[in-house]
Amino acid sequence: MRKPLVAGNWKMYKTVAEARHLVSEMVPGLQAIEGVEKVICPPFTALLAVRALLEGTEIELGAQNLHWETSGAYTGEISPLMISELCQYVIIGHSERRTYFGEVDDTVNRKTQAAMMHGLIPIICVGESLEEYESGMTEEIVDRQIRQGLAKMDLQEKSAQQGQSPLVIAYEPVWAIGTGKAATAEGANAVIANVIRASIAELFGEEFASSTRVLYGGSVKPDNASEFFMQPDIDGALVGGASLNSSDFISITRAAAT
C-alpha cells in the first residue's frame, strides 16, 4: 500500500559540474528500477542543472532545506515558493540543521506547514542523539519531535484531498548518521512502529498513520539496505554518504524494490 521511497541527501557536496556527472551516471540504473520512488536532493546551486537532466525520467528532485516565509528580507534564505518551482520534495529538520543551525521543533513545524502550502512533500527528520539513546530517552525525544513538528496542522483534510499522506518522516538516529554504525533493522522498526506511527495515529488517526511513509536513515549501505527494507514499518531510506556513489545508490534503491 505504501510505495517505497529512497532519497539521496547529498548534503554540502558536489559542484554543478560534479552534480551533472553524478546524475548522468545514476539515471540509467535508477530508471531501470520499478516500484520505488526515487528522489535526489542536491545542494541548492545544483538543483536547476540536475532538474534538466531528470526531465523525462521518473526520478524526482528534492531540496535540503527551506525558509518558512514565501518572500521577504531574509538574506541568504530560499523560500518554499522558489523551491516549488523546481522540486517535488524538501528535507526538513535534518539533525545537522538542528545541531549546527539552531533548528528546533518549532522551526520544523513552520517549515513543514510552509512546504505543504506550496505543494511540496516534506521529508521530516527525527531522531535521538547518542546521549539520549544511551540514557533510554529515544521514545520521549522522537515522540516530542513528531508531536511538536506536526502541531497545529489539519493533515487529515489534506490527505483526503490528495488521496495520500502529504508528508514523509525519516527516522534518523543521530548516532547512526555518517558513522558507519547503523541502527539494527529491528530496533529502527520498533521505534518507527511504536513511537512514530503510534504518535501520528494519535494525532491524525490510524488511517493517516498507516498511509504515511516512514524511512530509516543513518549509515544505509548496499550491504545492509535490504535488512531495513524487509521490516514491515520501514518504507525506504534517506541515504547520505552512499548517495554520492552511483553504484551504491542504485543498489540501495534496487533493494527497496524487492
Interaction site with ligand PGA (CB under 6 A): 9, 172, 177-178, 217-220, 238-242
* Least Å from the CB of residue 125 to ligand PGA: 7
Distance CA 78, CA 99 (A): 20
Min. distance of Cβ 176 from ligand PGA in angstroms? 6
Calculate Rg over the CA atoms of the chain. Answer: 17
Q: Which is nearer to ligand PGA, 165 or 224 (CB)?
A: 224
Distance CA 214, CA 217 (A): 10
Residue 146, exposed/middle/buried by CB under 10 A (0-12, 13-18, 19+)? buried
Active site residue 58: no
Length of the chain: 258
Nearest residue to ligand PGA, scored by beta-carbon proximity: 240
Cβ 221 to ligand PGA shortest distance, Å: 8
SS3 at position 6: strand
Exposure letters 17-42 (e unless 16+ CB within 10 A, then b) = eebbebbeebbeebeebeebbbbbbb
- Catalytic pick from 37, 128, 132, 172? 172
Whether 140 sits among the annotated catalytic residues: the reply is no
Q: Which is nearer to ligand PGA, 9 or 107 (CB)?
A: 9
Tracing cell 505504501 back to the chain, one arrives at 2
CB of 120 or CB of 220, closer to ligand PGA:
220
Instruction: Give the active site residue among 37, 67, 94, 132.
Output: 94
Nearest distance in Å: CB 93, ligand PGA: 11
User: Which residue, 80 or 240, is less far from ligand PGA as judged by CB?
Assistant: 240
Catalytic residues: 94, 172
